[in-house]
Amino acid sequence: MPMTQLPVRVPLIDFDPGFFKAIANMRENILLAIPAQALEQPIFSGRTMVRWHMIMEPVAIKRVLLDAVDDYPKSNVTKTLLGPAIGDSLFIAEGAHWRWQRRATAPAFAHRSVAALGPVMSMAAEQACTRIAAAGPRAVDLAQEMVTTTFDVIADVTFSGDDMMDRAAVHDAIEGYITQAGRISILDLLGAPAWVPRPGRADATHLLEQTKVTADAAIERRRDKGPRNVPDLLDLLLAAEDPKSGRTMTTSELRDNLLTFIVAGHETTAQTLAWALYLMGHDTGAQNHAREEAQQVLQGRIAGAGDLAALPYIRSIIDETLRLYPAGGLLSRTAQADDTLCGTVIKKGETVMIPVYALGRHRDLWEDPDAFRPKRFLDRKAIDRYAYLPFGDGPRVCIGASFAIQEAVIILSTLLSRFRFEAVKGRTPDPKMLITLRPEGGVWMTCTPV
């Protein structure tokens, strides 16, 4: 049967709570910066210390992300939040420095390269099944289980075969950084320079220092040994070369990009899978449909990269999950020139935000926007490209999008083919975003083998 109630939502408000209350709200959940009006209007403007604009109109979004992309670089707040962790890597670099990194790393994320990493994803899916089965009749927090599963994947495709890498320490350092540093500071909104200490962020940055040292050593060991017989992501990046300039990455550039891929490559996919399983636990009709598809295709085996085309409904579940619970629920840019969007004048230096969370639930862009309806994605041509932005768009579209989708479909289809999931009553997750949109409180399910 379908869900008897709408999936959980962020409680967006339709009034101005005042500056200090707004700051407190955003420190608790960044998505509380989005006003309820963003669900209905093409643009909504306001002011903290600087004027800001949220745009929900696809034509205007296309201008920011594609047509005038150089006029809308990543915001200073984004760089201040993530810079201490990932340096001037692909995610936050700008201009020529971004372009050469993108050109150099593109082959590592081409379809053939991503498909070759499928066996790692399949192995992680099988290990997840083993852990869940071992729990027996006890309820399992599938949110935590998905974090473990996707971290196994990203660790194996970055530092595979390196026994000197303490995976648990790397995971704990990254988790600590996200938890401590992912909260907006009033100093961020006041525009204070990055060198001004933010409470708690220095401690979070310190957590990553040893990880960076360890990663540098691992990169140098791999340089000395040469590539493995089956190249992993580190091998591909060590061999990466900008086709225009011939430039290759230094150890620090490699490390910062690897940390970027580790954070993005496991945190975002983990949360997407957790939310997908939450939705499956509340919609038995969709779950049964997906299980039938998975069992028919897999015939008892673990899913692999070659199965994706035969699993369209499970892919649509991932797409619909990303519409309702996008891992990156808010994109932020700083205008570098005066402009006009949706008839509103944008001044140089003002902040332009794309509230991806609200965009996916906008009343004018989606039919029954708060409902879980995966079949709407079976016809991709019917979806406005700039109404659905789980991976951004334009030249800065997420380079790892195909990696994430492949991993999510492999893991979800394998789990659904092996287990029936039922939600534990009274344990509804709370959608909260720090750096990614997490199901706070966990996704608690009883998992029955089928």
pLDDT single digits (tens) 426-449: 999 999 988 889 999 999 999 999
At residue 447, φ and ψ (nearest 5 deg) are: -120, 110
pLDDT single digits (tens) 356-371: 999 999 999 999 999 9
pLDDT single digits (tens) 64-96: 999 999 999 988 777 777 777 788 888 888 889
d(CA 286, CA 281): 9
* Residue 342 is among the residues annotated as catalytic for this protein: no
Residue type at 239 in one-letter notation: A
Highest mean pLDDT among 48-52, 163-167, 215-219, 318-322: 318-322
d(CA 219, CA 237): 10
Whether residue 100 has pLDDT greater than 80: yes
The arithmetic mean of pLDDT across residues 135-139, rounded, is 91
d(CA 336, CA 232): 39
| 3-class secondary structure, 433 | strand
Selecting among 150, 211, 268, 351, the annotated active-site residue is 268
Query: Where is pLDDT greater, at 202 or 242?
Result: 242
The arithmetic mean of pLDDT across residues 22-38, rounded, is 84
Would you state the pLDDT for residue 419?
Answer: 97
The distance from CA 287 to its chain's CA centroid, rounded to whole angstroms, is: 23
* Residue 340 is among the residues annotated as catalytic for this protein: no
**Which region holds residue 121: left if phi is over 0, alpha if psi is between -120 and 50, else beta?**
alpha
Dihedral, 62, 327, 264, 87 alpha carbons, nearest 10: 70
Predicted confidence band of residue 165 (pLDDT cuts 50, 70, 90): confident
Known binding-site residue numbers for heme: 398
Selecting among 44, 109, 391, 419, the annotated active-site residue is 391
Would you state the pLDDT for residue 232?
Answer: 85
Domains belonging to the chain, first-starting first, are: 19-449 (1.10.630.10)
Would you state the pLDDT for residue 202?
Answer: 66
Would you state the pLDDT for residue 198?
Answer: 64
Which position has the token pair 């001037």?
88
Please state which of the ranges 141-145, 260-264, 296-300, 396-400 shows the lowest mean pLDDT.
260-264
Which are the contacts of 421, defined by CB distance < 8 A and separation ≥ 6? 142, 277, 280, 281, 287, 415, 445, 446, 447
Selecting among 129, 342, 398, 447, the annotated active-site residue is 398
Q: What is the pTM of this model?
A: 0.92
Q: Are 98 and 86 in contact (CB under 8 A)?
A: no
* Residue 151 is among the residues annotated as catalytic for this protein: no
d(CA 408, CA 270): 8
pLDDT single digits (tens) 232-281: 888 889 999 999 999 999 999 999 998 888 877 788 999 999 999 999 99
Dihedral (CA of 88, 93, 94, 97) sign: positive
